[in-house]
Chains A and B, each alone.
Chain A
Amino acid sequence: MRHIISLLMENEPGALSRVAGLFSARGYNIESLTVAPTEDPTLSRMTIVTSGSDDVIEQITKQLNKLIDVVKVVDLSEGEHIERELMLVKVRAVGKDREEMKRMADIFRGRIIDVTDKAYTIELTGTGSKLDAFLQAIERSAILETVRTGASGIARGERILKA
C-alpha cells in the first residue's frame, strides 16, 4: 500500500543521505522524496512517498526514528491529510493550439508563467493524479518538457508535526 511519511530532522549536512542510505541499504522503496528547511532553520522537513506491507512500513518508521538526527516521524496516511505536488510543463503553443492550451491550463487551475512565440510554460499544483490527468488531457505531441517535485504532505485539521 502507498504511504506518505513525514519527518522532521536536524538540518545538518548529510542528513538527506542518511535517510536515502537507510532506504537503499534495507531495500525499501522510495517513490518520491522532498526536503527543505522549515520555519525553524535548524530543522528540515522531509516527505517520503513509499509503498509496502504494514510490516514494512512499521519497520521503515522504526528505522527512521532510530537515526540520531531524526526528531519526529509520522505516517500521514494513518489519518486525513493533504498532499500536493508541483509540475512545470513546457508545451508547444502555436496558432490555434495557443488558445486551446490556455483553456486547458485554466480548467486545471494552472498558470502560464512563461511565454514565447512557440511555447508556454505552465505551472500546476495538485495531487500526483491530477497532474497525470493534465498530461493526458493535452495532446501528447505538444509536450516539450516536464519537471515535477515529489509530494509534500501535511495532516488535516489541528494535528501538527513539531519538534
Chain B
Amino acid sequence: MEMTGAEIVVRCLQEEKVDYVFGYPGGAVLYIYDELFKQDKVKHILVRHEQAALHAADGYARATEKVGVALVTSGPGVTNAVTGIATAYMDSIPMVVITGQVPTHAIGQDAFQECDTVGITRPCVKHNFLVKDVKDLATTIKKAFYIASTGRPGPVVVDIPKDVTTAKCEFHYPETISMRSYNPVVKGHAGQIRKAVQLILEAKRPMVYTGGGVILSNASELLTEFVRLLGFPCTNTLMGLGGFPATDPLFVGMLGMHGTYEANMAMQHCDVLVAIGARFDDRVIGNPKHFYNPERRIIHIDIDPSSISKRVKVDVPIVGNVRDVLEELLRLLKETRERPDPQALKAWWTQIELWRARDCLRYDRSSPIIKPQYVLEKLYEVTQGDAYVTSDVGQHQMWAAQFYKFDKPRRWINSGGLGTMGFGLPAAMGVQLAHPSATVVCVTGEASIQMCIQELSTCKQYRLPIKIVNLNNKYLGMVRQWQEFFHGNRYSESYMDALPDFVKLAESYGHVGMKIEKPGDVEGALREAFSMKDRLVFMDFITDQTENVFPMVPGGKGLSEMILV
C-alpha cells in the first residue's frame, strides 16, 4: 500500500516502539504533525522551546535504555535545537532528531525558514541525513535508529523536506540494516584482554576509573562484581556516577576537578589503572603533562578507538563494548586462581584511608545561613537515595555529584561534556515521562533554571510532579568562584540582579512554590515537598553566597595539586 512520507515517518516511529516524541510544530513538519494527530501509539510532548525538546528526549534516553526522539521544524526550529544536539553528542546519548526542511525545489533558494541543517549540525552529530526521495525515507530512519544506538551512541539527525512528507511510495521497513562503512567493534581483542588480566594480577597499587561508558553499556552490575572480586578502589567520573554503588566502602568518590582528595591522589599514585568507558577528559585528569607517571601502567577499555590514547598514552588498549569486555575479564579472573598480592593491596588501602581521613568534603555545619551542601545531604536522606536527579550546570551540579550518593546507574542525569545550562528541567520532564511514578528531582541554580524556565508550562500541561531544588545564591556561582580564585574578586557580570520571585513564578504556572531561608527549615520543606506526589514543587533555597566547591584542581594543574577547604 502506498503511504505519504508523513505517514511513513509516523509508521517508522511506531515500528521502533517509540513512546514519546518531544517537539514543536511548524510549517515544514505540519504533515507529520497531522499524522501524529491521527494515531495514539506515539505520544507527542509539546515543549515551549526546541532546546527543551532535545533535552527532554535526552533525559528520557539517559533514564531508560531507549533512543530519545525529537521532532522540530526547519530553520529556527533546528537552530534552537542545536544546543540540545551538541549536549547529547558530547555525552554519547542515543537520539534521533527529525527535522523539517523546506521543499526540495526551494533548498538553496534562501527560502523562508530555510537553513542548511545538515551543515549546521554536522560537527555535533554522530551522523546526519537529508532525505531527498520518499523512497529512501523508511530505510534512512531505520539507519538513524541503528547508528544512534549502536557502537558509541550519539544523536542522528534526519532532515526531511516538506514535499517528501507529501510524496507517496510503498512502505517497507527493513528488519535489519547492514552498512559496509559502519561495523562497530563489540568484542575486545582476546590477546589484549589476557595482557590486562596479567597486569591486574601484578598490581600493587591498583585503581579502577570508570565513566559514562559503563552506564551506556548497562555494565554496572558487572563492574561492581569485578571491583568487589578484586577488592580494588573504584572512582567514577561525573558521567559515571551510579556505575558503581556510592555507598560501597570500595568507592573513593568522584574524581577530577571537584573530585575527592582520596580519588585524585589514588589516580595520581596508582601503579595499575583500569580505565573503563572513561576518556581522560580535561575536567578529570587536568593537564596530561602533570598526570604522567612513569610507574603507572594503564589499561583502557573503550568502544571508541579514537578515545584511546587521545590525551593519555595507554599500555593496554582494548577496543570493545564495556559490557562484553568486562564479561570476558571476569571470566578469565574467575578461571585463574591467582590474585594480586594481598599485602601490597592492604598497604595501598592504608594509604587511601589516610587520604580519606582528610575529610575533604567537610563544610561549616554551624552556619546560620543555609549551606548548599547541607541541602543536598538532606535531599539524599529525604529521598533515601531513591530519586532520579537531574542537574543543570554550575556549583549546584558539583555539590549534587559530591553529596548525593548514587547507588544505581541512570539515576544521575546531567550535561557532563558540553556543560549546558538549562538542561536540568527539560531533562527531568523526559525522566518523569519515562518513569511516571518515580521521584524526579531537578537540582538547579537561579541562573541555570532561567535558561529553560518556560518549561514550567510544559510540566503543567502534562502534570509532571517534578521537584525543583533551586540553590539560590544570587550569583553565577561557579563563575563567581573562578573570579574569586583567578580574577582578583572582580565579579564581572556574575551577579544576578533582578531575580524573579520564584514562588510567585511557580504559582503563576499553577505549581507550588516554597522559599526556604533558614537551615532549620530545610528538612521540613523537603519532606513537605516530597509528600506532594502529584504536584510540581519549586523549592527556592536561599543559600550562602560565598560558598565555594572544594576540593578543586585549578585548570591546567595536576590531580595532586588540589585546593582543599
Q: Which A residues contact B (CB, under 8 angstroms)? A: 9-10, 13-14, 17-18, 21, 25, 55, 58-59, 62-63, 65-66, 68-71, 163
Question: Which of these binds chain A: B43-51, B237-245, B302-310, B405-413?
Answer: B302-310
> CB distance B304 to A66 under 8 Å?
yes
> CB distance B126 to A59 under 8 Å?
no
What are the residues of chain B within 8 A of A68 when measuring CB–CB?
A: 126-127, 147, 179, 181-182
Closest to A68 in B: B127
User: Which of these, B147, B180, B306, B310, contacts A71 with CB under 8 Å?
Assistant: B180
Complex: how many Å from CA A47 to CA B166? 41
What are the residues of chain A within 8 A of B179 when measuring CB–CB?
A: 68
What are the residues of chain B within 8 A of A59 when measuring CB–CB?
A: 306, 310
Complex: how many Å from CA A58 to CA B310? 9
> CB distance A66 to B180 under 8 Å?
no
Q: With contacts A59-B310, A68-B147 known, is A21 near B181, CB below 8 A?
A: no
Which 9 residue pairs spanning A and B have beta carbons closest together? Answer: A62-B306, A68-B127, A71-B181, A25-B123, A62-B305, A68-B182, A63-B306, A66-B306, A21-B122
User: Which of these, B118, B181, B306, B310, contacts A69 with CB under 8 Å?
Assistant: B181
Complex: how many Å from CA A62 to CA B309? 11
B side interface size, CB within 8 A: 17
Q: Which B residues contact A (CB, under 8 angstroms)? A: 118-119, 122-123, 126-127, 130, 147, 179-182, 304-306, 309-310
Question: Chain B: interface secondary structure?
Answer: mixed
What are the residues of chain A within 8 A of B304 when measuring CB–CB?
A: 66
> CB distance B123 to A14 under 8 Å?
no
Complex: how many Å from CA A21 to CA B116? 15
Complex: how many Å from CA A21 to CA B120? 11
Add 15 more A-B contacts to A18-B122, A59-B306, A68-B127 (CB < 8 A).
A13-B130, A14-B122, A17-B119, A17-B122, A59-B310, A66-B305, A66-B306, A68-B126, A68-B147, A68-B179, A68-B182, A70-B181, A71-B180, A71-B181, A163-B180
Complex: how many Å from CA A62 to CA B319? 12
Complex: how many Å from CA A23 to CA B164? 33
Complex: how many Å from CA A71 to CA B127? 14
In angstroms, how far is the closest chain A Cβ from the Cβ of B485? 28
> CB distance A21 to B147 under 8 Å?
no
Closest to A71 in B: B181
> CB distance B180 to A65 under 8 Å?
no
Give the most central of B118, B126, B306: most A CB within 10 Å.
B306
Complex: how many Å from CA A106 to CA B123? 48
Q: With contacts A14-B118, A17-B119, A70-B181 known, is A65 near B126, CB below 8 A?
A: no
Complex: how many Å from CA A111 to CA B181? 40
> CB distance B309 to A58 under 8 Å?
yes
In angstroms, how far is the closest chain A Cβ from the Cβ of B315? 15
In angstroms, how far is the closest chain B Cβ from the Cβ of A20? 10
Complex: how many Å from CA A55 to CA B123? 22
